[in-house]
Amino acid sequence: MEELDQPPPTKDECTIAMLAHLLQLFTGFIGPLALLVVKRDSRFVVFHALQALLLQIALVILGLFTVLTWFGFFIYVAATQWTPKQGAGRVPVVAILILGLFILLWMAAWAIDLLAAIIFGIKAHRGEWAEYPLIGKYARRLAGIPNSRKSMPSPP
């Protein structure tokens, strides 16, 4: 989305905004946070760094939820299935399926992170004010950038 009420970003701002997206792949939330602090005078860089930072925070929360849920399930299975009784010591099929589901969830989160970093890094390098789905509007609000989408006139 082209931002009408903002001055066009400089070439350096475009490069730093792209770095904010790409650094999240290698440094997690630290790279975008560092660029956010260093270039806080540029609304363009702040907007893109905030998006990358919010995505990393969401991925950390998802990861913590996944790990805690899996450990909770493991403890439950250990307490109910591995007691000294007949058939003890076998891992239930449900535990293996849930572990596989969590591995797939981790892989999907990694793929989303990779795709978002590449796609939005390219858009930032082009000088576009592209928003991540679901996260972009929060980054825009946190950066103090008004939404300048003009409403389409209704047909007569």
Q: What is residue 91's predicted lDDT score, i.e. its pLDDT?
A: 63
Tokens representing 85 are 């009784």
Output Rg (C-alpha) for the chain, integer angstroms. Answer: 22
The tens digit of pLDDT for each residue in 32-77 reads 999 999 999 999 999 999 999 999 999 999 888 888 887 887 787 7
- Yes or no: say if 51 and 23 are a contact pair by the CB < 8 Å rule: no
Alpha-carbon distance of 56 to 34, in angstroms, equals 13
All residue ranges of the chain with pLDDT < 70 are 1-5, 81-92, 148-156
Tokens representing 80 are 């109910």
Residues 6 or more apart whose Cβ sits within 8 Å of residue 63: 106, 109
Q: What is residue 88's predicted lDDT score, i.e. its pLDDT?
A: 55
Residue-wise DSSP of 71-98: HHHHHHHHHHHSSSSTTTTPPPHHHHHH
